[in-house]
Amino acid sequence: MARFYTKPEFTTKLETMRSYNDEEENADGAGFTTGLLVGAALGAVIALLYAPKSGEQTRQQLKDLADQQKENLKNQWDSTKEAVTGAVDATKEKVD
């Protein structure tokens, strides 16, 4: 078996195969990125197929959730604004 690798035509082929494999491994993650995108797309399709609700119900649920979060954010903004305004007014009174 050792003679197989010592013949010039076989060593050249072996070196060519090794360099080809090295080039494939050093493709700057192109294969990984492609696999990631394909996997994400497949996952999205499978999720839609196994979704327990119709698209209309899901969109309505997402809209309701977004409206709730918007209201919560508005309330937090108002309370923060009042607290800052109160702190500024108190500081002004102490300075005067």
Give the tens place of pLDDT for each residue, 31-48. Answer: 888 888 999 989 888 887
66 and 91 co-located in one domain: yes
Which of 20, 35, 50 is the last residue in one of the domains? 50
2 and 43 co-located in one domain: yes
Give me the half-sphere count of Cα atoms (radius 13 Å) on the Cβ side of residue 87. 6
This model's pTM is above 0.75: no
37 and 64 co-located in one domain: no
Query: What does the CA dihedral 74, 76, 78, 80 come to, rounded to 10 degrees?
Result: -150
Number of domains in the chain: 2
Q: What is the pLDDT of residue 1?
A: 47
CA distances from 6 to 2, 11, 19 (A): 7, 6, 18
Domain boundaries, position 77: 54-96
